[in-house]
Structure 1
Amino acid sequence: MPRLCFTLDLKDDVTLIAEYEAYHEKVWPEVKESITQAGIEQMEIYRWGNRLFMIMEVSKDFSPERKREADAANPKVQAWEELMWKYQQALPGAKEGEKWQSMKKIFTL
């Protein structure tokens, strides 16, 4: 099963970080459904300070492009993403409006 890894920063504010984590304890069902329907079989998000790291295990036919298109057409996912942007901030070097940045694997044991 292919693995994809991404990173993103949260705004460096303890109250906002706590709110962000609380939302992720109760992710909206429509958002979870969009994730699984896209072929994402496993997803974990880790935090260190205000830095996030996401690991996704995806099906062989997973397409990031199809996921973006489906998300753009889903009002509930768009509402979630808009809400999450209150807590998130782009990484240095990210293009305007880009959130999660794909990470390059540099080592395997």
Structure 2
Amino acid sequence: MKRYCLALDLVDDEKLIAAYEAYHVNVWPEIKRSIIDSGILDMEIYRIANRLFMVMETEDNFSFEKKALMDASNPKVAEWETLMWKYQQALPFAKPGEKWVLMKNIFQLNG
């Protein structure tokens, strides 16, 4: 199993943040299925102010490239991602079009 941590910002607006959280209380079943089908075993998203932090635990053979290819051919995922961009904003240092940015692990207690 592998673990990845990623970050992203939300638009700093209380109403938009509340709406974003509401979508994540009832994530569309097709989105959950696409996450599982890509080899993600567990996923959690945390928020402080308008900053999001995602923890993903994946199968050993998971790849972001494979997930991107699967997502590109899934119209429901495209619909979800377009909708989520209304609430999200790229981190200041993100590459053009980049949403979630992979974080570097700098400490591990039992590593």
Flag whether TM exceeds 0.5 (same fold).
Answer: yes
1:81 counterpart SS class: helix
2:67 counterpart SS class: helix
Q: Equivalent residue for 1:69?
A: 69
How many residues are treated as equivalent by the alignment? 109
Q: Equivalent residue for 1:51?
A: 51
Structure 1 residue 93: Cα displacement: 1.3
Percent identity at matched positions? 64
Q: Equivalent residue for 1:25?
A: 25
Unaligned runs of 5+ in 2: none
1:24 counterpart SS class: helix
2:61 counterpart SS class: coil
Query: Residue 86 in 1 paired to residue 86 in 2?
Result: yes
Structure 1 residue 97: Cα displacement: 1.1
Paired letter, 1:37: D
Paired letter, 1:98: E
Query: Residue 106 in 1 paired to residue 110 in 2?
Result: no
Unaligned runs of 5+ in 1: none
Query: Residue 8 in 1 paired to residue 8 in 2?
Result: yes
2:83 counterpart SS class: helix
Whole-angstrom distance in 2 between the partners of 1:103 and 1:20: 22
RMSD over equivalenced CA pairs, Å: 0.4
